[in-house]
Amino acid sequence: MDEDVKRILYVQTTGTEQPERSATVFFLAASGAAMDMEVGIFFTQLGPTLLQRGVPETLRVRKGGVTLGHFIEQARDIGVKFYVCQPSLELTELKLQDLIEGVEMIGGAAFNNMALEADQVICF
């Protein structure tokens, strides 16, 4: 682990039920990665529904605006990592294979470890 690199961990708790709350985490995370930080987003509670296959292409953050996929790709393209945990997948009746590519499954221990090692944890 490079001690000089700053780390931010975002936590996203809302999902497709609140489209207006879906994009912020991705563009803030992308901004952090653009500033050479290591940035991850942990999707919990209803957050994983944003990553369900088919959702990024269809969910519009605001009426007439771009789809959520635009923001997801922007973040992923610049190196933001996406994490989910098993209990929240069960809550939302999703499986890891129902989600878009490149999402990593972690558990509570790994999340807490990431949180302690991050310079900041920001929750949405």
Partner 1 sequence: MIAAIASTLDCRGLLCPLPIIRLSKAVKTVDVGAVIEMLATDPGSVPDMEAFEHQTGHKILERSEAKGTFRFLVQRTK
* Residue 49 C-beta: closest distance to partner 1, Å: 23
* Residue 17-56 contact track with partner 1, rule CB under 8 A, x = bound: ----------xx-xx-xxxxx-------------------
Nearer to partner 1, 82 or 111 (CB): 82
Q: Are 13 and 52 in contact (CB under 8 A)?
A: no
Residues 6+ apart with CB under 8 A from 121: 8, 9, 10, 11, 115
Contact call for residue 6 and partner 1 (CB under 8 A)? yes
Contact call for residue 78 and partner 1 (CB under 8 A)? yes
Residues 6+ apart with CB under 8 A from 43: 12, 50, 51, 82, 83, 84, 88, 103
Number of residues that bind partner 1 (CB under 8 A): 12
- DSSP letter at 22 equals T
Nearer to partner 1, 91 or 122 (CB): 122
Binding site for partner 1 (CB under 8 A): 6, 27-28, 30-31, 33-37, 74, 78
